[in-house]
Structure 1
Amino acid sequence: MSNNTPTKLDAENPGLYGMLKITLANLTAIEAHHIAVSKPTAPENHVSSFNHKYATLNGYRYHYVEEGDPNNETLILVHGFPDLWYGWRYQIRHLVKQGYHVIAVDNLGVGETDHPRCDDGNYDPYRTKNIAANLVKLLDHLNVDKAVWIGHDWGSTSIWKVGLYYPERCRAIISIGFPHIQPVAQFVEPDVLAEHFPQFRFFSVFQTREPEGWFDGDAQKVAIAMFNSVYGAGVGTSHEEKQYYVQNYARTTLHGGLNYYRAVRLNHEDELPYIGKPYTVPALQAIIEKDPIVTPAFVAIHPSETMTSLEKVSIKEGGHNAHTENPEEVNKVIDAYLAKVFQKDK
């Protein structure tokens, strides 16, 4: 695919691919700006300063970071797309100081965790029921009975489903941004979603194979364009930290993250038996007021009457990646809810 050739992708989603092409065209200026505004990464946030571990979970090799005393209450942090365990760096260090045992995992398909390609069109490894099963197996590996699960973006979807399928392994759920979507009888096509919420037009494109052809399939170019678009302004992620993302996604490509989007119909089928059933795990929904993707309006359309113990709180500053853009407020929100969870256990 030539960079200048109009495609179905451009017609369906002129914002996403066009944005990446503009980013590459202006890369020199974006990089110069990012370097100029970046502060040195604190030694405690260097990738090498974290305790990296690996485990085989249901046949897949997972990479995760473990910090804190294993005898303390366990928190499992699950990232979204395009992200890595490293997106939680500000939360990991903070929560350990609060006395928690903290695990941040590279979810299936990204980073140092296995990334099944599913080139045959069978996206079974990425259906959220199976992702949830893998994450619960991590608890078994750690000899932990229950954990508080904290997620962002697709990580939120993953942990909401841990609560749906394995409530007995959950003390609580904390979602930064993305709401629990109750099981329903009618599958909502991505095109229909995009009609009501245009910011999700990329969802339809990710159902196709076209993203694999971006920039003639050059994974390095895609990664450079993607992460300079996401982090190039320098809010919350330094130039040095950005390079870690570029290196990881240039190696693995975007395919693992894209497969989560391609498995959504399988997820719908898995959830049909749960229509109308109570969601019993205590949960906190953090709504990011300035999130341009998971907007407050998007969160508001999703009913929560099946949830037996749901609290909501607003995060006033920061965009979609508020956990890196405004970690102080996000950490306060998490702290306050955890205090309630563990006070109730006493």
Structure 2
Amino acid sequence: MDFSKIHISADNPDVLPTLTYVLDNLQAVEERHAEINSKPTVPEYAVSSFNHKYATLNGYKYHYVEEGDPNNETLILIHGFPDLWYGWRYQIRHLVKQGYHVIAFDSLGSGESDHPRCDGDNYDPYRAKNLASNLIAFLDQKNLDKVVWIGHDWGAILVWKIGMYYPERCLANISVGIPYSQPTFEYVPAQVLAQHFPQFRYFCLFQTKEPDTWFEGDPKKFATAMFNSVYGSGIGTSVQEKQFYIDSFSQTTLHGAINYYRAVPFNHEDELPFVGKPYTVPSLQIIIEKDPVVTPALMSLYKTDTAVNLEKVSISEGGHNVHTENPEGLNKVLDDYLAKVFDKKN
């Protein structure tokens, strides 16, 4: 079989045919993954080895993992799509060893956090300003004044928004793989982006109701196809770890996670008061040179002139999921930047 057809890329941009191809060739995909990454998870990174907690934030239950001394500097990690808190497993353990207090959430709509459905056109639970408000409520509950926010993919987008809405609650923000996108008066639909970067056709589809009907609405089929596509022939996520993702999203569906895409037009409306205003939070934008989705060419198109304290750094190895594919490289970048934030010597 052609393993290049199981991943979304500019050369293979259509989501449903890709996921269908994965299911049609599932045995071969699973056998290939087992050849590459069949080693069992070491105990240090087992799901059960982490400290699991829950909080009610603005009426929604959130699941999170908390590690390290609460008296130390706090870092909050926010995952992307399709992911869970578990995507940060290598960073959580590493950053705690560096002396930080680390919290990683299941974002609303994923994992053990609540999954509000949006069957009409009201996506308020997933508007960035409301998601940001939920996490600020968490800081209030924990009596945390300011923290460092670290996000990947959709989590990075939310981190940028937290810095816009609540700069006073941010020591610094770190974005893994997603550019700073300053607010504009003009709304640019995803279809326009997809004309130039065809890998973003998935973004357009996820803004519709269509994905809720895929695979006869069977969440296990959808999850099996999705996570074998994302992890099935790459490094960094074992067969056992992939199954954790499949089991989790088979129980919850991907509806909530996909609602982040559907809420994008409403996010644009919410951001209009911030057009032209400076983005003051000290920030790090990490560029993943081999990311097949958010490519360096795409990132270079985003203007950052309103960001007054922005650093950029590139990581040469690892793809879109660099946090699992090249954790050592990402951890080194995080160490270096955090040392500057907290005036430490490595």
TM bin (shorter chain): over 0.9
CA separation in 1, counterparts of 2:138 and 2:15? 35
Contact 2:13–2:200 (CA under 8 A) maintained in structure 1? no
Q: Deviations over 1:267-324 (max 9, x none)?
A: 0000000001010000000000000111101110111111110000000011100000
Q: Which residue of 1 aligns with 2:28?
A: 29
Give the match for residue 252 of structure 2. 252
User: The residue matched to 1:240 in structure 2 has which SS?
Assistant: helix
Residue 144 (structure 1) shift: 1.0
Structure 2 residue 300 is matched with structure 1 residue 288: no
Pairwise CA distance, 1:257: 1.2
State the AA in 2 paired with 1:21. Answer: T
**Counterpart for residue 191 of structure 1:** 191
CA RMSD of aligned residues (A): 1.1
> Following the alignment from structure 1 to structure 2, what is the Cα–Cα distance between the partners of residues 242 and 44?
17
Q: Which residue of 2 aligns with 1:130?
A: 130
- Identity value in percent: 68
Q: Name the CA shift for 1:72/1:88 in 2 (closer, same or farther; >3 Å).
A: same
Q: How does 1:1-346 map to 2 (within 5 A)?
A: 15-37=14-36, 38-343=38-343
Q: Which amino acid aligns with 1:259?
A: N
Contact 2:13 / 2:202 at 8 angstroms: preserved in 1?
Answer: no
Partner amino acid, structure 1, of 2:72: N
CA distances 1:165-219 after superposition (whole Å, capped 9, x unpaired): 0000000000000011100000011111111211111111111111111111111
Give secondary structure in 2 for the equivalent of 1:72. Answer: coil
Q: 1:62: how far off? A: 0.2
Aligned length, in residue pairs: 332
Distance in 2, Cα, partners of 1:234 & 1:312: 26
Contact 2:73–2:100 (CA under 8 A) maintained in structure 1 = yes
3-state SS of 2:240 partner: helix
One-letter amino acid of the counterpart of residue 83, structure 2: D
Q: Quote the residue 1:5 is aligned against.
A: none
Q: Secondary structure at the match of 2:342?
A: helix
Amino acid aligned to 1:180: Y
State the secondary structure of the residue aligned to 1:343. coil
CA contact (8 A) 2:287 2:312 kept: yes
1:10 maps to: none
Structure 1 residue ranges without an equivalent (≥5):
1-12
Supply the AA of the counterpart residue of 1:150: I
SS at match of 2:33: helix
> How far off its partner does 1:139 sit?
1.1
Amino acid at match of 1:67: E
The alpha-carbon deviation at position 120 of structure 1 amounts to 2.0
The separation in 2 between residues aligned to 1:50 and 1:145, in whole angstroms, is 25
Q: Which amino acid aligns with 2:97?
A: K
Contact 2:53 2:66 in 1 (8 A): yes
**SS, match of residue 149 in structure 1:** strand
1: distance between equivalents of 2:69 and 2:272?
A: 39
Q: d(CA) in 2 for partners of 1:262 and 1:277?
A: 26
Secondary structure of the residue that 1:258 maps to in structure 2?
A: helix
- Deviation of 1:41 after TM superposition, in Å, equals 0.7
Equivalent position amino acid for 1:146 in 2: K
Aligned residue in 2 for 1:9: none
Whole-Å separation in 2 of the counterparts to 1:253 and 1:94: 31
Amino acid at match of 2:214: W
After the TM superposition, which parts of structure 1 deviate over 4 Å for at least 4 consecutive aligned residues? none
Cα 1:181–1:32, aligned 2, differ >3 Å: closer, same or farther? same
For residues 244 and 221 of structure 1, what CA distance do their matches in structure 2 show? 14
